[in-house]
Amino acid sequence: MKGTHLVRVTKSQGGLPLPLRGVNAETLHLTEPLEVAGDTETLYLCLDGEIVLDYALEFVHLRPLETFTVAQAHKLSPVASAIVLRIKLEG
């Protein structure tokens, strides 16, 4: 993974799993909303573009290099197109 430009590779491949011990990490190229069911604690880091994260009756608007952690069902909606790093804690 040394020297990998995550945004460029994700745009060309649509996503990229990252080999990190103890967590499930991947990049996502979002062009349409994505609903995520479950209660796994998940951290999102917006790498490119903007996303709106809807959970419960609230929402968070993430811009590049902003993060948010959620531990319940949620929906990710890109503003046009976005690249995000998703890290799920394995437990």
pLDDT tens digit sequence for 48-70: 999 999 998 999 999 999 999 99
Distance CA 35, CA 58 (A): 15
Q: What is the pLDDT of residue 24?
A: 83
- Can you give the pTM of this predicted structure? 0.80
Beta bridge partners of 79: 50
Q: What is the pLDDT of residue 2?
A: 56
* Mean local confidence (pLDDT), 15-19: 67
Mean pLDDT of the chain: 85
Distance CA 5, CA 88 (A): 21
Please write the tens of the pLDDT for every residue from 69-84.
999 999 999 999 999 9
Distance CA 19, CA 45 (A): 17
Q: Is residue 1 predicted with pLDDT exceeding 50?
A: no
